[in-house]
Structure formats: structure tokens, C-alpha cells
Amino acid sequence: MAAFSPDLERELRQSVRQARMVSFTCGFVAPAMYIISLGSQVLRGRWSLFLAGFADLPWEEPLVRACLVAACLTLVLALVLPPRLGQPRDSRAALGTLKLRNLLTAALMAAVAIFGLYLGVKIGPPVASLSLLICLLPMVGCWAVLPSESRWRYFMADAGRLIPR
């Protein structure tokens, strides 16, 4: 593991904690609140409708297809775009890049769940299973990209070697 200055070490640890909180909030808490809202307000407490399946979904409805495509594209964008945000020149710049990447990923993951919420509110019980699935996607996606201090440390150390001092 790379050793950084005490100030950078402290900033790294603090940034990883903050990034985890942002990821947890956008990827888990927000979608969970959407699911609870859909279940209590739209489904009126008939929680079993979430498990009704996909056989009777109104696939011919343009909004269903549009929300599904938009959610999938946003999920792919959340996983593909942030790593392409450029290569930092040193360790401190790398930390800023990692923070930005995490924030963008978390925001896009939250947007995926919003498509599920929107679909469930606009169409209602017939799409409950699909709305649930779309709201669960960010939970899986955020879990897959949850910040790890060792990954961030490696990225920062590698960035410091890109340009000789």
C-alpha cells in the first residue's frame, strides 16, 4: 500500500467515508424510500403486487418501454462514464477525480430508481413488479461500485507515478 503525507492520508480516509455515505444514500436509501412510497401510496399497502410477475405487464404501453430503456441506458452510463473522466496528474488530483466519479455514479444510480418510481406512479399496480425491479437496480449497481479505500489508494498512487516530479 502506498503511503501518502499525513494530510493526504486523512483526506483520503475522510473522502472514502463521505463517498460511501453518498453511495449508500443514493443507491440504497433513496430507492428504498421509492419502493416504500409506491407500496404504501400507489399500491395502497397491497405489497404482494410487487411480486405479481411480468406476464401481465402492459408492454404495449410506450411509457413502459421508454422508462425501461431509459433506466437501462442510465445504468450503463453510470457504470461506463465516470471512469472515462480523464487521468489525473498526481495523487491529490486523483482524489478529486475519485470524488467526482463517485458522485456522478451515485447520482446516475439514483436517477435509475427515479424511472421506476415514475413508472409506478404514472401507470400504477399493473407495473408494480417492473417498478420494483427498476428501483432495485441501483442497489445492485452501487454495491458493485461501492468505494474501497484500497482501490482509491491504488488509483492515487498510480496517478502520482504518471508524471515524474
- pLDDT tens-digit map of 17-47: 999 999 999 999 999 999 999 999 999 999 9
Q: Which set of grid coordinates corresponds to residue 55?
A: 406476464
Q: Is 44 exposed, middle or buried (0-12, 13-18, 19+ CB in 10 A)?
A: exposed
Domain residue ranges of the chain, discontinuous segments joined by +: 6-45+57-155
Indicate the pTM of the whole model: 0.87
Q: If DSSP codes are grouped into helix, strand and coil, which group holds residue 121?
A: helix
Residue 46 or 153, more confident: 46
- The reported pLDDT for the residue numbered 160 is 56
- The reported pLDDT for the residue numbered 71 is 97
- pLDDT tens-digit map of 64-121: 999 999 999 999 999 899 888 878 888 888 999 999 999 999 999 999 999 999 999 9
**Local structure of residue 41 (DSSP, 8 states):** I
**Local structure of residue 81 (DSSP, 8 states):** S
Greatest CA span in the chain, whole angstroms? 63
- The reported pLDDT for the residue numbered 162 is 46
Res 164 pLDDT > 50: no
